[in-house]
Structure 1
Amino acid sequence: MPTIDWLKQEFDYGYDSGDVLSLAPNDTRIQEENLVGGSYREVFLKAVVPHLKPDAKVLELGPGKGSWSRAILNYIPEGELQVVDFQDVKQWLHPENYGGRLTCHIAKDNSFSAVEDDYFDFFWSFGVLCHNNVENIAQILKNSLSKLKPGALAIHQYADWNKLDDYGWEKGGIPLNFQQKPDDQIWWPRNNRATMASIAQKAGWSVITADLGLVERDSMIVLRRLG
């Protein structure tokens, strides 16, 4: 099921995580945070903000309706955000409101051909790699590596079935019958910290940590592009 064609169709409505910076989360964010077992505000402040300089150039994969994108733009007033999505996200992100600081690319594949090499200071995704099988993730990590500057960091949330077992499938909103189905028939393919770290290393990344430990259901890997 997690083919590129399926991903293009499944999220055409634009995924929304709510306002990730608000002190009081709205209903959308409350529901999401209950599923993942963590605070999106805490995730952003601890995982993203420390790596954002005012003039940073940031790449985001799969922004959907732009919950994380808008938060990032708040912290890079002199910087630039480029987002890559299978959908035309301009209808939700309205780049015309950001004075050239936001560029939205429509992807046809996982090549990242629309963005420059050696350009970005930070690469971010949340709610994206969890819907990709390991073959797709390998493509994404391999093809995105050259887009970052040497020394730049990437942080990605991904599905971790080991953590999901501990957290609870029903509590996490993932159907229990996925355990008996192959990855190409489910929207939450198998992955864990050891697998994800191996994929990243084979793609050429240096793994800083396989999980930041900020949410209970999923993992968030921190990667660095070496020089």
Structure 2
Amino acid sequence: MELGCVKEDLGLPSLEWNRRWALKFEEFRKKNPGGLYGSQWGDPEVRGIRYFFRRVFFRRAAGPLYRVVDDYIRPYVKPDATVLEIGPGGGRWTRYLVSAKKVVAVDINAEFFAPLRAMFPDANLEFYQPEGFDLRRVAADSIDFVFTFGTFVHIDPDGIREYLGEIRRVLKRGGTAVVQYAAKEKPAGRKELSFSEMTAEKMAAMAPMEIVEHNTRLLSHSNIAVFRK
């Protein structure tokens, strides 16, 4: 699920560290039969008074995740679109993408692929297990929309720069990419010890495409950048 390369000797996740998500997934499924893996970090289905209650009384939410669906997924997932998701994990966000013509799911943990296929039997899903930050088997200019959430927060700046270059290559002209990444300029971001040393300023400096929206307010520990090729 989460794909990272930050140095392990600093106590932060390496690429190998991120391979543990498959084990965490199995542990979750044993303890929560039928539960949606990923919802323990926030459920985008929580809205209205339910969201207010959790936010005010439990302080569990990093922000209104339903807004991510409304503002950064639904406008781009069209019936004729080819979508690429980096780090689908247990399908927390994939469920909002499968109405597209095709979804290419990229994850270093192939253990997620069979459960995702079972969860979305009618979807046109294609799976790709990369070695690092590559999308080599994804053709250039073939993707309408790229989405990633909960993954780039664990990739260091050099890795993000490399991945953004790959995203630019695979996007069609006029295509859009929505990338959530760690915001170490925020107090909540600094508290997340497994988050990489990213900031809004660094993202703006390394962007290989136009950033048409840079939302630094919606989430307490991270930011969302919207790229257009």
**Structure 2 unaligned runs (5+)?**
1-7, 26-36
Q: Does 2:95 match 1:84?
A: no
Question: Partner of 1:66 in structure 2?
Answer: 91
- Please give the alpha-carbon distance, in whole angstroms, between the structure 1 residues aligned to 2:190 and 2:119: 41
Q: Does 2:15 match 1:8?
A: no
Question: In the alignment, residue 43 of structure 1 is paired with which amino acid?
Answer: V
Q: 2:168 aligns with which of 113, 128, 145?
A: 145
Contact 2:184 2:190 in 1 (8 A): no
Question: Partner of 1:115 in structure 2?
Answer: 138
TM-score for both structures, normalised by structure 2: 0.76
Contact 2:142 2:171 in 1 (8 A): yes
Contact 1:35 1:217 in 2 (8 A): no
More off after superposition, 120-129 vs 96-105 = 96-105
- Please give the alpha-carbon distance, in whole angstroms, between the structure 2 residues aligned to 1:68 and 1:45: 12
More off after superposition, 56-65 vs 204-213 = 204-213
Deviation at 1:158, TM superposition (A): 0.6
**Residue 196 and residue 154 in structure 1: after superposition, are their counterparts in 2 closer, same or farther (change >3 A)?**
same
SS of the equivalent of 1:98 reads coil
Deviations 1:141-168 (A, max 9, x none): 1122111101111011111111x22x47
Question: In the alignment, residue 87 of structure 1 is paired with which amino acid?
Answer: N
Deviation at 1:67, TM superposition (A): 0.7
TM-score for both structures, normalised by structure 1: 0.77
- Please give the alpha-carbon distance, in whole angstroms, between the structure 2 residues aligned to 1:128 and 1:168: 14
Deviations 1:158-208 (A, max 9, x none): 11111x22x4755xxx25xxxxxxxxxxx21211101011122xxx21111
Identity %: 24
Q: Please give the residue correspondences for 1:200-219 in structure 2 after superposition, counting only pairs within 5 Å.
A: 200=207, 204-211=208-215, 213-219=217-223
SS of the equivalent of 1:222 reads strand
Counting matched residue pairs gives 200
**Residue 169 and residue 147 in structure 1: after superposition, are their counterparts in 2 closer, same or farther (change >3 A)?**
closer
Question: In the alignment, residue 219 of structure 1 is paired with which amino acid?
Answer: N
Q: Please give the residue correspondences for 1:8-27 in structure 2 after superposition, counting only pairs within 5 Å.
A: 8-10=19-21, 12-14=23-25, 16-17=38-39, 20-21=44-45, 23=47
**Residue 212 and residue 119 in structure 1: after superposition, are their counterparts in 2 closer, same or farther (change >3 A)?**
farther
Question: Partner of 1:56 in structure 2?
Answer: 81
- Please give the alpha-carbon distance, in whole angstroms, between the structure 1 residues aligned to 2:224 and 2:131: 25
**Structure 1 unaligned runs (5+)?**
176-186
Question: In the alignment, residue 208 of structure 1 is paired with which amino acid?
Answer: V
Question: In the alignment, residue 39 of structure 2 is paired with which amino acid?
Answer: S
Contact 2:211 2:225 in 1 (8 A): yes
Contact 1:212 1:222 in 2 (8 A): no
**Residue 4 and residue 36 in structure 1: after superposition, are their counterparts in 2 closer, same or farther (change >3 A)?**
same
Contact 1:159 1:188 in 2 (8 A): yes
SS of the equivalent of 1:157 reads strand
- Please give the alpha-carbon distance, in whole angstroms, between the structure 2 residues aligned to 1:12 and 1:113: 26
Contact 1:20 1:71 in 2 (8 A): no
Q: 1:133 aligns with which of 140, 151, 156?
A: 156
**Residue 198 and residue 35 in structure 1: after superposition, are their counterparts in 2 closer, same or farther (change >3 A)?**
farther
Cα RMSD after superposing both structures: 2.8
Deviations 1:126-149 (A, max 9, x none): 011111110111111112211110
Question: In the alignment, residue 108 of structure 1 is paired with which amino acid?
Answer: E
